[in-house]
Structure 1
């Protein structure tokens, strides 16, 4: 049996905490949440079409706000107050990108995203470009599904000042350019809308669409890396790598859980002087998470392409999610056993290293094989417990 590396357990665990007690949601919202649009009428209209500029932070954030408002009723059966809405993960992640300066022009050739133009989202930002596909496409798929109460031709997004051909801006254009991604998000909304869907059903479809989106645009913005330090570019690649593990574990992207987990993310762009685990203006948790991402990325990159994983890999990840949620990380055998333990806050997570921890896999004879390109990239096949990804091993 292949055991999970302890760093994987740590990273999955860091996204598995939820807070007890009463919390004031207004203190936890993304930056400028209250000031952002929350309904279509808050946006300008031209010739009967709502026009949204996704290159201005409050307007892009407003897209998430509309999605959360319009889908709230479907998540009420799981908890009141929309806290269990799984779309919070996308909105809160975008908020972190803004507050950490990752939406600003990394080339510094313009003032976009800086003090004099702080609401601007730069098309040269790797983070902004990736986020666009996890904002515009889920949004337009929701419009196309009828979930948002307007017709497919009633909303259009403004293009960026350059590189317009890399993006799509309305339902018809996105269906033409990215039909498979749009279909994945449409399936997610069908599941959300279905009265018989369980929380786990919706969670599966969410991560299916999310990982499929990342895999299909992974190499699209490689030219953006030149604008960043080597450390930040590595972090960007490692983050995408880690998200595949998080998705395989089906971590719920609910409001409080995601808000708390983001405390471990770097609060600013990494510079060439930053060394993982020893950054003086980062918290201990932030240094630990950054180190874990680095280790996980290195192991994934160096792994051979024919390593075999048992299907228990994915089940182990999911058990880790619940074990850590209940504070049992120090005792659970899910992460494997070894004489050594990795220190993590007040407790230790034990675990031995797997031969490979590559999340990019293809199904072969009921087992998981790293590397290669699969016909499907569904990260959690229903009933099979397998992970399939379209990215080739070694991309990181």
Structure 2
């Protein structure tokens, strides 16, 4: 099997090719970025407490904008461009979920998130919206607690009528998901700490802590699993592959800048998959989307055939700064060289693992 350019996104991030299918950018920024809050005080407030509504798309996207602005001064080792902050991958993912309809009510009992309803609504019944809650609310609450917003700011997330089972404060989330919150706390603490490491090693270290925290949020999002029952078996399979792909990109300490994240996220399927959708022959999806889904299926099959060892081999190979740098070069090969074969990939990572 030949790993085409789309294989990188499937294998090492949350996307699959250089061609764009879903809309994730607007004037070079995540969609509706200009309508989000640039200051904490622009978010809803009550009695001096910041009370954003995470079930409103603009409020949730605002959490990301505030996070990126607050962490930017500590991200100098990532590069000189403001878009080099690795947190950019998160709002791009949220934008893709919105434009592809994955934040809408999958049960059909409300018009939340539908074009014929409230387009800015995020349904608490959406598996995708639920998983993203752990990737947006948890880091925001941690950042606020660690002093990245305003001194002494208190945050209490809104829980609209009918929304149950979601933590809404730092204390609440720490009690329910202690490991995830501890990992985000650790990331923000390291970000502010003085470091004597060379810039390249500092960058690798920060990215490592960042991905450790993000993976902890994804593991905690197992609480969302029952919501997968609202989707087709094809969508569930894709969703699980999307989760699994994070294992690869995390181990490589991928630098998820805005520019690099666009390459991985924009080609993801532009609608929810239905029963009977079989790539590469889904008529109303683009060739790139069909190819993406085909590669997801193949990589999932290979990993299953190897008893999960493909993921473990990759993790084993990403054991040091030098091998992770080689891993990034391998990612570039997968992006730029359509003829890069699976056997070559396996040979390289096996060789890398033996050097650890």
TM over 0.5, shorter chain: yes
Aligned twin of 2:326: 319
Matching of residue 225 in structure 1 with residue 216 in structure 2? no
Q: How many aligned residue pairs are there?
A: 331
Matching of residue 202 in structure 1 with residue 218 in structure 2? no
CA gap of 1:244–1:5, structure 2 versus 1, over 3 A, is: farther
- Of 284, 289, 292, the residue aligned with 2:287 is 284
Matching of residue 214 in structure 1 with residue 218 in structure 2? yes
Aligned twin of 2:40: 40
Aligned twin of 1:171: 170
Aligned twin of 1:124: 125
Aligned twin of 1:108: 108
CA gap of 1:282–1:195, structure 2 versus 1, over 3 A, is: farther
SS at match of 1:205: helix
CA gap of 1:222–1:323, structure 2 versus 1, over 3 A, is: closer
SS at match of 1:80: coil
What are the ranges of 5 or more consecutive residues in structure 2 without an aligned counterpart? 19-24, 347-352
Name whichever of 238-247 and 74-83 sits farther off.
74-83
CA gap of 1:169–1:271, structure 2 versus 1, over 3 A, is: same
Aligned twin of 2:297: 294
CA gap of 1:201–1:123, structure 2 versus 1, over 3 A, is: same
The offset of 1:27, in angstroms, is 1.8
CA distance in 2, matches of 1:130, 1:310: 24
CA gap of 1:119–1:347, structure 2 versus 1, over 3 A, is: same
SS at match of 2:10: helix
CA contact (8 A) 1:76 1:82 kept: no
CA distance in 1, matches of 2:179, 2:247: 18
Aligned twin of 1:376: none
SS at match of 1:352: helix
Give CA deviations for 1:281-321 in whole Å, capped at 9, x if unaligned. Answer: 33333222222222223344455479985975336775242
Q: Provide the aligned C-alpha RMSD in A.
A: 3.2
CA distance in 1, matches of 2:70, 2:242: 29
SS at match of 1:348: coil
CA contact (8 A) 1:17 1:324 kept: no
CA contact (8 A) 1:242 1:293 kept: no
Taking structure 2 as the reference length, the TM-score comes to: 0.82
CA gap of 1:16–1:234, structure 2 versus 1, over 3 A, is: closer
Aligned twin of 1:347: 338
SS at match of 2:36: coil
CA contact (8 A) 1:242 1:296 kept: no
Give CA deviations for 1:10-51 in whole Å, capped at 9, x if unaligned. Answer: 734777999xxxxxx862322211011121111222111111
Matching of residue 270 in structure 1 with residue 273 in structure 2? yes
SS at match of 1:259: helix
CA distance in 1, matches of 2:129, 2:300: 22
CA gap of 1:150–1:281, structure 2 versus 1, over 3 A, is: farther
SS at match of 1:58: helix
Taking structure 1 as the reference length, the TM-score comes to: 0.75
When you count helix as a share of all residues, which structure comes out higher? 2
SS at match of 1:187: helix
Select the structure with the greater relative contact order (CA < 8 A; seq sep ≥ 6).
2
CA distance in 2, matches of 1:309, 1:75: 30
CA contact (8 A) 1:86 1:253 kept: yes
CA gap of 1:274–1:318, structure 2 versus 1, over 3 A, is: farther
